[in-house]
């Protein structure tokens, strides 16, 4: 295998590296030239080196339906994705703006509900939502922030413009893979790093630690921070352990914690030890069997009450998921205007709300052209890809939409941008999305770039690792004379 950009054809899609066969974009010209200069043997060696690195470093993820084999190697493509620093600076500001507005909205929903009185959004859409937690009404979390860690999915359309696809405010995952992808790329392509000014991503764990520490109810130099994991069988266990390790925080399971007198403690070799901040990686409903799902063995009885009393901080706060809903998503541009009095920097994908009669009629009449998404699923499950679906599948979705219009949203199929991956015999274009991570505590922080997920199957739009997706290192690259973004 040797790469020849002349025979690389992105077709009608926006390819981020190659404009048209043989013509790399200026920002990726060095990368394209370098890759073309590698002969077959060199490319094979690089591929092998990357696989070995992933195996040795133990970068893995878990697949639910996999039965025995719970731990799989992380699928990774060698060719980095490149984003210009100037474009990124705008995107970064757009993401910060979005998360600020989302936090204002969540705080408002649980404190005052001005947004309903001003008729910005129909209260029924929120109060009937599966993610609205009546138990959280009246709570004032520190800094009035509910969603401390947000993973917002971005896509590029056929013109290369970034659009927001969704906001993940519950327990977004993937950041450890972003960090590990960079480590692997450094091992495999050290020579590339000499010729590019690539913004580092490694400070994420430090930023995360500082943000979590800023939530501590006790004012002390070393607040006790714990990462709460459902355990080794969770698909993101690698990440939980990774983040705890990089932050020097304790990685705890529900059974490691105990609540006494509304204080949270860990069981340690020296007895019980107080916990200040919990970065919880389990869903609201499993947090506390005394308040939510009584069947939950993952959670800690009394945890919610301890949080209510302000004796422990939870990130993200219970109830933050009320804004992680594909219908609420369609209102985010309105929230930005309403709460911040600013124009949205990053546009949404145009969306049809099935709860609205005229929009629903349009959706039902155009199911073969639209993507239909349930409001509350994640991981790409339960979607209808209209153009590729069978007539029977479309009928099934029409039935579901009519039965529960509130639960569905439809969007035109956006022609996702492509980037090259190293295929068996040549470089081939594949569709990608991007998940940057946004932190908000006392201050905010956005990862430079984020996790690029790539659909490894030709023509596919499904980028989820649980469904055959892979990932790429993502470089935010400074050109001549660019200032460091955010500084």
Partner 1 sequence: MLSRVAERIYWQARYLERAENTARLLNVFSNLLLDLPDRTTLGWNDLVRITGASEIFVQHYQNANETNLARFLISDPCNVSISAMLANARENARTTREVMPTEAFEGINELHYYAQSAAGKADDRSARNEMLEHVIESCQQIFGMLAGAMSRDAGYAFVRMGRALERADMVSRMVDVGARKLFAMLEDPAAPPEFAETWQGILWMSVLRSQSAYQMYRQHVRRRVNGEDVVCFLLHNEEFPRAVIHNLTTVSKVLPRLPNHGEVAELVNLARVELKHSHVPELVEHGLPERIDHLQIRFAAIHDAISRTWFLPRV
Q: Provide, rounded to whole angstroms, the least separation between the CB of residue 150 and partner 1.
A: 23
| Sole binder of partner 1 in the list 67, 134, 190, 271 (CB under 8 A) | 271
**Whose Cβ is closer to partner 1: residue 140's or residue 255's?**
255
Which of 252, 370 has the CB closer to partner 1? Answer: 252
Q: Which is nearer to partner 1, 198 or 247 (CB)?
A: 247
Looking at beta carbons only, is 195 or 245 nearer to partner 1?
Answer: 245
Rank residues 74 and 408 by Cβ distance to partner 1 and give the closer one. Answer: 74
Binders of partner 1 among residues 53 to 112 (CB under 8 A) are 55-58, 71
Q: Please report how close the Cβ of residue 260 comes to partner 1 at its closest, in angstroms.
A: 8
Question: Closest separation between CB of residue 205 and partner 1, Å?
Answer: 11
Tell me how far, at minimum, the Cβ of 267 lies from partner 1, in Å: 5
Nearer to partner 1, 171 or 432 (CB): 171
Binding mask 231-270 for partner 1 (x = CB under 8 A): -x--------xx-xx---xxxxx-xx-x-x-----xxxxx
**C-beta of 144: minimal distance to partner 1 in Å?**
31
Number of residues that bind partner 1 (CB under 8 A): 27
The residues near 29 (Cβ < 8 Å, ≥ 6 apart) are none
Our CB check for partner 1 shows the closer of 52 and 124 to be 52
225 near partner 1, rule: CB under 8 A: no
| Minimum separation from the CB atom of position 413 to partner 1 (A) | 40
**Minimum Å distance from CB 273 to partner 1?**
9
Closest CB to partner 1 among residues 249, 354: 249
- Minimum CB separation of residue 257 from partner 1 in Å reads 10
* Contacting positions for partner 1 (CB under 8 A): 55-58, 71, 227, 232, 241-242, 244-245, 249-253, 255-256, 258, 260, 266-272
């Amino acid at each position: 295998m040797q790469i020849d950009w002349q025979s690389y054809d992105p077709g009608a899609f926006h390819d981020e590296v190659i404009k048209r066969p043989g013509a790399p974009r200026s920002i990726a010209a060095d990368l394209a030239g370098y890759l073309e200069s590698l002969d077959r043997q060199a490319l094979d060696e690089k591929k092998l080196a990357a696989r070995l690195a992933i195996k040795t470093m133990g970068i893995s993820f878990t697949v639910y339906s996999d039965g025995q084999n719970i731990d799989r190697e992380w699928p990774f493509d060698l060719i980095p994705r490149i984003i210009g620093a100037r474009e990124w600076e705008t995107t970064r500001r757009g993401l910060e703006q979005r998360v600020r507005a989302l936090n204002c909205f969540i705080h408002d929903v649980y404190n005052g509900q001005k947004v309903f009185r001003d008729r910005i959004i129909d209260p029924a859409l929120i109060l009937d939502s599966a993610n609205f937690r009546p138990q959280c009404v009246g709570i004032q979390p520190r800094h009035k922030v509910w969603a401390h860690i947000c993973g917002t999915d971005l896509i590029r359309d056929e013109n290369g413009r970034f659009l927001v696809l969704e906001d993940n405010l519950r327990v977004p995952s993937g950041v450890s893979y972003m960090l590990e992808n960079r480590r692997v790329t450094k091992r495999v392509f050290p020579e590339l790093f000499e010729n590019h000014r690539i913004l580092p991503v490694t400070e994420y764990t430090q930023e995360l630690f500082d943000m979590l520490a800023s939530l501590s109810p006790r004012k002390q130099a070393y607040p006790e921070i714990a990462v709460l994991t459902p355990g080794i069988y969770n698909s993101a266990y690698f990440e939980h352990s990774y983040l705890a390790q990089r932050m020097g925080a304790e990685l705890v399971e529900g059974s490691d914690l105990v609540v006494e007198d509304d204080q949270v403690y860990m069981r340690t070799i020296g007895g019980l030890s107080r916990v200040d901040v919990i970065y919880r990686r389990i869903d609201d409903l499993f947090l506390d069997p005394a308040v939510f799902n009584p069947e939950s063995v993952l959670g800690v009885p009394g945890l919610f009450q301890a949080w209510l009393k302000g004796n422990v901080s939870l990130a993200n706060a219970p109830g933050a998921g009320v804004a992680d809903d594909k219908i609420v998503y369609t209102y985010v541009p309105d929230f930005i205007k309403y709460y911040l009095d600013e124009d949205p920097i990053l546009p949404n994908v145009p969306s049809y709300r099935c709860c609205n009669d005229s929009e629903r009629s349009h959706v039902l009449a155009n199911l073969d052209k639209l993507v239909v998404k349930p409001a509350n699923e994640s991981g790409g499950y339960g979607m209808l890809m209209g153009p590729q679906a069978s007539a029977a599948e479309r009928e099934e979705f029409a039935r579901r939409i009519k039965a529960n219009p509130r639960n569905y949203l439809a969007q035109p199929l956006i022609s996702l941008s492509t980037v090259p991956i190293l295929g068996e015999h040549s470089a081939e274009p594949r569709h990608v999305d991007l998940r940057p991570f946004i932190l908000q505590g006392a201050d905010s922080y956005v990862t430079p770039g984020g996790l690029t997920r790539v659909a490894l199957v030709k023509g596919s739009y499904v980028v989820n690792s649980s469904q055959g997706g892979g990932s790429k290192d993502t470089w935010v690259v400074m050109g001549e004379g660019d200032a460091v973004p955010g500084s």
